[in-house]
């Protein structure tokens, strides 16, 4: 297995491609002169590199940031999509599936891959060893043949399989778990699709946030909406609110829409990179921000979120979040809001609440 070093200079592709994508290039012959679909791809330009060998490439990103990374390179041979499914039932010679970080999402993605392969089409699965791809052989549904390990490099593994029979149609209702959730605002039904984090109970941070909500009115943004717990609680307390819900995860956005429908509620749900895709000014921004301690980008993303929030709040607008108490929010909040107000806290979390002057 190999690739043409003249086409892929070592220093260039090493800098711009993720480890799984580099392993794909080691096996470039699998895509030669094929119509290829990438599912759950990474935030690199593997798709454009594949065009040097494939006839046509289509991408489906479940992460909005990953979609944005490749979207600007669309052309007649490269089509890019964001969401939990493709907008059409087109089929492909090869589907390249990037194994998801959430193992529970893999059966859904395998089903999706099967729906978009021609009869006898090839499935290529790549992922990091630490991400659980070692278990793919046991996860293969019966409409695929046994997964065969083809490569093992850069802390990643690559497997191939072939579609043996027609994959079942996909209905989201088959992939969602609905449960009842008690909140300070009342009982709610939460719909959680595979791959979306949920503990089937109100997590401690969100509970603290909902226990100390101020009176809200007008246009409100739920940033990082997830399955829609905060949005549904806000609408339970005040159905007149004009809620907008943003997230970067396609399955989370679909979950939020299902949660709203299950509770007979309405809100605008859409993908956004930070607040970049939102428009206009808000009366309030409420969030349990999806920033995780230990990521290199935590401080940068949090800073951008606070800055954008302050810029898009109306005068007198309310900004309230819950965050792990050890995350360094205070300096950033002071920089953009000129003061730091902690309205509630416990041994794990703090509620930061500010009103724009």
Task: Give the count of domains, the chain.
Answer: 2
* Of 140, 162, 184, the domain-final residue: 162
Residue 168 is assigned to a structural domain of this protein: no
Residue 226 is assigned to a structural domain of this protein: yes
Tell whether 49 and 155 lie within a shared domain.
Answer: yes
Tell whether 156 and 211 lie within a shared domain.
Answer: no
Q: In this structure, what is the dihedral angle of CA atoms 182, 184, 190, 194, given to the nearest 10 degrees? A: -90
* Of 98, 131, 162, the domain-final residue: 162
Residues lower than pLDDT 50 in the chain: 1-14, 293-297
Tell whether 276 and 182 lie within a shared domain.
Answer: yes
Residue matched to tokens 């806290």: 345
> Taking the alpha carbons of 123, 101, 75, 85 in that order, is the dihedral positive or negative?
positive
Residue matched to tokens 């939102």: 278
Residue 193 is assigned to a structural domain of this protein: yes
Tell whether 89 and 41 lie within a shared domain.
Answer: yes
| Residue pLDDT, tens place only, 63-90 | 999 999 999 999 999 999 999 999 999 9
Tell whether 148 and 246 lie within a shared domain.
Answer: no
Dist CA 297 CA 327 (whole Å): 12
Between helix 298-311 and helix 330-337 the angle, nearest 10°, is 20
Residue 2 is assigned to a structural domain of this protein: no
Tell whether 38 and 157 lie within a shared domain.
Answer: yes
Contact 298, 290 (CB under 8 A): no
Residue 281: which CATH number? 3.40.50.150
Residue 285 is assigned to a structural domain of this protein: yes
Tell whether 140 and 205 lie within a shared domain.
Answer: no
Closest CA to 284 of 221, 341, 335: 221
Polymer length in residues for the chain:
357
Residue 294 is assigned to a structural domain of this protein: yes
| Residue pLDDT, tens place only, 110-124 | 999 999 999 999 999
Residue 167 is assigned to a structural domain of this protein: no
* Of 162, 183, 208, the domain-final residue: 162
Dist CA 139 CA 118 (whole Å): 21
**Per-residue pLDDT, 200:** 76
Closest CA to 283 of 240, 232, 339: 240
Residue 1 is assigned to a structural domain of this protein: no
- pTM metric for this prediction: 0.92
Tell whether 79 and 180 lie within a shared domain.
Answer: no
Which helix (H) or strand (E) segment holds residue 323: the answer is: strand 313-324
Backbone angles phi, psi at 158, to 5 degrees: -130, 130
Tell whether 70 and 110 lie within a shared domain.
Answer: yes
Domain that holds residue 56: 10-162
């Amino acid at each position: 297995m190999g690739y043409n070093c003249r086409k892929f200079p070592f220093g260039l592709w090493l800098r711009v491609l993720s480890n799984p994508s580099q392993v794909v290039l080691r096996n470039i012959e699998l895509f030669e002169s094929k119509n290829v679909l990438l599912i759950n791809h990474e935030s690199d330009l593997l798709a454009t590199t594949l065009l040097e060998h494939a006839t046509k490439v289509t991408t489906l990103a479940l992460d909005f940031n990953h979609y944005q990374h490749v979207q600007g390179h669309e052309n007649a041979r490269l089509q890019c999509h964001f969401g939990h499914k493709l907008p059409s039932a087109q089929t492909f010679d090869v589907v390249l599936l990037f194994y998801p970080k959430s193992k529970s999402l893999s059966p859904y993605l395998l089903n999706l891959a099967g729906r978009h392969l021609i009869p006898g089409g090839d499935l290529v699965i790549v992922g990091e060893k630490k991400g659980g791809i070692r278990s793919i052989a046991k996860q293969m549904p019966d409409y695929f043949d046994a997964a065969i390990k083809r490569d093992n490099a850069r802390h990643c593994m690559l497997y191939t399989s072939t579609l043996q029979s027609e994959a079942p149609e996909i209905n989201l209702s088959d992939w969602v778990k609905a449960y009842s959730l008690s909140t300070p605002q009342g009982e709610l039904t939460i719909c959680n699709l595979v791959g979306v984090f949920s503990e089937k109970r109100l997590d401690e941070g969100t509970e603290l946030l909902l226990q100390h909500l101020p009176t809200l009115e007008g246009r409100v943004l739920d940033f990082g909406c997830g399955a829609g717990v905060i949005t549904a609680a806000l609408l339970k307390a005040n159905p007149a609110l004009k809620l907008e819900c943003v997230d970067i995860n396609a399955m989370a956005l679909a979950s939020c829409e299902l949660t709203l429908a299950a509770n007979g509620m309405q809100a605008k749900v859409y993908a956004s990179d930070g607040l970049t895709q939102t428009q206009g000014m808000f009366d309030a921004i409420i969030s349990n921000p999806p920033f995780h301690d230990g990521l290199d980008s935590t401080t940068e993303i949090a800073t951008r979120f606070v800055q954008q929030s302050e810029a898009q709040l109306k005068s007198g607008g309310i900004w309230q979040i819950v965050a792990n108490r050890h995350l360094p929010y205070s300096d950033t909040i002071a920089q953009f809001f000129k003061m730091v107000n902690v309205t509630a806290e416990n041994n794990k979390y703090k509620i930061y609440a500010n009103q724009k002057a």
